[in-house]
Each structure stands twice: as C-alpha cells, then as structure tokens.
Amino acid sequence: MVFAPKYRRQEIYGKKKKEIGKILRELCDWKGVQIIEANACPDHIHMLVAIPPKLSISSFMGFLKGKSSLRIFEKFGNLKYKYGNRHFWCRGYYVSTVGRNKKAIEQYIKNQLHEDMMSDQISLKEYMDPFKGSK
C-alpha cells in the first residue's frame, strides 16, 4: 500500500515520523493486520501488509487513514491550521497484491529512501527549453 499526506506536503520526518509509525502500527494491531515491511518517506508511506480475508482492503484503508488522521491531529495540534477539516491524508491510495515477488517488494520498501536520495543526486541538464524548443 502507498498513501501520501494531502498535497504531498513533506510532513513525515523526525519526531513526527516516529509518532506516525507508532500510530499506524497500533491501528494495524487493532484490526489484526500484520505489517511485513514499512517505510515512511518525507511525503509518502509504503507498507507491505498481510490483511486477514475477513477485512476488505478499502474498509481497512478507510479505517487506517481516518483514525490515524484524528490521532495525528491530537498529537500535533499545529497541523490543524495547515490542513483544516482534519484531512491529513490525500483521498487516493495505491494497493497491489503480492505473489511470488514478495521479497523484491520488501527490498524495494527497505531501500526506498536510499533510492530517492540517489535519484535526487542525478540531474540532467537540459540545453534546450522543452516547451519552447530554444536554448
């Protein structure tokens, strides 16, 4: 599962990252969802989870994002002014099932921050304006 804060604001770092991780772990425990691997980047969260068959993914995501928003706003009161209406997470999320490539996805989630840093260091200098076609 991948989901992000509203407007992709970079809010997940330092103390907030630890507290948001605790909140998400506790909510997953409440529903009996096993976290296999998880990583919080500054502007999104990756989670590899095992959801029991009695739970639908959409209802679990609604629970997770809804309850975590309320608890995040209780913990960090100053975020209420940035986000308003108590919507911390953006509306959408990405979910995919895992078959034989479970190990590859675990490695991807573990190395996500390192990969992001490496891609930020690579920069391509464009000698032509891609919109105007001139130098």
- Catalytic residue check, 108: yes
The number of domains in the chain is 2
Q: Is residue 110 part of a domain?
A: yes
Q: Are residues 7 and 24 in the same domain?
A: yes
Determine the structural domain holding residue 123 and report its residue range: 99-127
What CATH number is associated with residue 66?
3.30.70.1290
Q: Are residues 52 and 19 in the same domain?
A: yes
Q: Is residue 88 part of a domain?
A: yes
Each residue of 85-108: pLDDT tens digit? 667 788 888 888 887 777 777 777
**36 sits in which H/E element:** strand 34-41
Catalytic residue of the set 7, 13, 93, 108: 108
Q: Are residues 69 and 41 in the same domain?
A: yes
Q: Are residues 61 and 121 in the same domain?
A: no
Mean pLDDT within 119-134:
54
Q: Is residue 76 part of a domain?
A: yes
- Find how far residue 133's CA is from the centre of its chain: 37
Question: Which of 36, 87, 94, 93 has the alpha carbon at shortest distance from 66?
Answer: 87
Q: Is residue 135 part of a domain?
A: no
C-alpha to C-alpha distance for 94 and 34, rounded to whole angstroms:
18
Q: What is the pLDDT of residue 117?
A: 59
Q: Are residues 47 and 74 in the same domain?
A: yes
Q: Are residues 22 and 39 in the same domain?
A: yes
**Looking at the predicted structure, is the pLDDT value of residue 68 above 80?**
yes
pTM: 0.71
Q: Is residue 134 part of a domain?
A: no
Q: Are residues 18 and 74 in the same domain?
A: yes
* Tokens 């995040």, located at residue: 72
Q: Identify which has the larger pLDDT, 59 or 102.
A: 59
Each residue of 4-57: pLDDT tens digit? 887 777 777 777 888 888 999 999 999 999 998 888 887 888 888 999 999 999
Q: Are residues 23 and 72 in the same domain?
A: yes
Alpha helices in 32-126 (DSSP H): 57-75, 79-83, 102-110, 112-121
